[in-house]
Amino acid sequence: MAVAEAQERIAAGTGKMPRHVAIIMDGNGRWAKKRMLPKAMGHKRGVETVRNIVRAAGELGLETLSLYAFSSENWKRPEDEISDLMGLMRDFIKSDLDEFASNNVRLKIIGNYKALAPDIVEMLEESIARTSQNSRTTLAVALNYGAQDEIVRAARAAAAMGEINAASIEANLDTADLPPLDLLIRTSGEQRLSNFMLWQAAYAEFWFTETLWPDFNKDELAAALNEFARRERRYGGR
């Protein structure tokens, strides 16, 4: 029902459609634990959900979808879990690049991705270059990303340009070429930002769901878009 409502609204040009939706993908480990499976299986299922949600974003007409994939704090996780995540990242890029290209999806990476393994960096940069002219949906993936670090880097760049103010900082954020963030979704029932898009979320709408990321689907994404359409955004005004 949520998908049908969203599609009817989009087709009719009624209601508000967010241009930029970001998702904190949370709950892979808990999904696996509930099923007495290794955590790696939760991450693997989470990658399948990423594929499905990227497709859904295009079908629902989203201009930009940002996904929090690997934070700068995630390096504190056990070494074997990090190795599993990096392996899944390699597999995802290899298997999905052709689909991105054929479906007019542009890939963008935010965060210090160049600190990742050299082969991953090479694969990411090839993917960025190959999809750079695509225009249907932009998929911004946050890798080795932390919002506090992003703001510090942006402030330093602004200072080097000669003036530090809101406009000069924003112009130097990793997301400078993306639309303003409209809607931020977090799965798994947690209600915190976890150092993700702190600057960009200043006037974004938030939508939290108890659903664990591996179980998140197109219908839930559509439900979030429908809720966004019903809200009145005031940007600090009355």
Any idea which residue has 């459609």 for tokens? 17
Task: Say which CATH number the domain at 80 has.
Answer: 3.40.1180.10
Residue pLDDT tens, the chain, 238 long = 677 666 666 655 556 899 999 999 999 999 999 999 999 999 999 999 999 999 999 999 999 999 999 999 999 999 999 999 999 999 998 898 888 888 999 999 999 999 999 999 999 999 999 999 999 999 999 999 999 999 999 999 999 999 999 999 999 999 999 999 999 999 999 999 999 999 999 999 999 999 999 999 999 999 999 999 999 887 776 6
Of residues 179, 144, 172, 173, the one with CA closest to residue 22:
179
Residue 76 counted as domain residue: yes
Total number of domains in the chain:
1
User: 219 catalytic, yes or no?
Assistant: no
Residue 232 counted as domain residue: no
The conformation of residue 17, written as its DSSP 8-state character, comes to -
Out of 52, 74, 103, 217, which one is annotated catalytic? 74
Q: Which residues make Cβ contacts (< 8 Å) with residue 100, sequence separation at least 6? A: 54, 106, 107, 127, 131, 134, 139
pLDDT at 116: 93
User: 149 catalytic, yes or no?
Assistant: no
Other beta carbons less than 10 A from residue 103's beta carbon: 16
Q: Which residues make Cβ contacts (< 8 Å) with residue 114, sequence separation at least 6? A: 121
The CA-based dihedral angle spanning residues 50, 26, 37, 55, taken in that order and rounded to the nearest 10 degrees? -10
Residue 237 counted as domain residue: no
Q: Which tokens sit at 190? A: 């947690």
Residue 219 counted as domain residue: no
Residue 61 counted as domain residue: yes
Residue 230 counted as domain residue: no
Residue 133 counted as domain residue: yes
CB 107 within 8 A of CB 128: yes
Q: Which tokens sit at 181? A: 């963030």
pLDDT at 234: 76
Q: Which residues make Cβ contacts (< 8 Å) with residue 87, sequence separation at least 6? A: none
pLDDT at 12: 55
Residue 100 counted as domain residue: yes
Strands (E), the chain: 20-24, 64-71, 105-110, 137-145, 183-186, 205-208
- The domain in which residue 42 lies consists of 17-146+180-188
Indicate the burial class of 83 (C-beta count within 10 angstroms; 0-12, 13-18, 19 or more).
Answer: exposed
